[in-house]
Amino acid sequence: LNIAANLVAFLAIIEMFNELIIYLGNRVDVDVSLYIIFEYLFYPFAWLMGVDPEDCRAVGNLIGLKVIGNEFIAYFELIAVKDKISDRSFYIASYALAGFSNLSSIGIQIGGLSA
């Protein structure tokens, strides 16, 4: 129960930061969100993995969601963008999203070890 509560709270904090960034962007007439920041921040990593250049922003967003959130959120988003990216980029992204190397896993470990 402690682990699930930590995970839900962590994901809620991430969404709160996303909404704060959207609000601040709207105040200065800039279209920005945490997901747009992920697209540009993780673009080079997607390109280095061999993703098609036209799909690097979408896959960069997925990698950002996986690192900050967890792989389940990223896989749900991958299903949503499956028709918008090439098959090659889809398969590279599906392998890149596998694993537990994300910040919410650290929260799960802390919750499990402190119990």
Each residue's pLDDT tens digit, 6-40: 778 888 998 999 999 999 999 999 999 999 999 99
pLDDT at 93 over 90: yes
∠77-18-46 over CA atoms, to 5°?
Answer: 45
- If one compares 15 and 101, the residue with the highest pLDDT of the two is 15
Model pTM?
0.84
pLDDT at 63 over 90: yes
At 83, the pLDDT band (50, 70, 90 cuts) reads very high
Neighbouring CB atoms inside 10 A of 93's CB total 28
What pLDDT was estimated at residue 1?
63
Cβ partners under 8 Å of residue 99, min gap 6: 71
Task: Please answer whether residues 61 and 91 qualify as being in contact, where contact means their C-beta atoms are separated by less than 8 angstroms.
Answer: no
Question: Mean pLDDT over residues 47-68, rounded?
Answer: 94
Residue 48 — left, alpha, or beta (φ > 0 → left; ψ -120 to 50 → alpha)?
A: alpha
* Best CA proximity match to 37, nearest among 26, 22, 51: 22
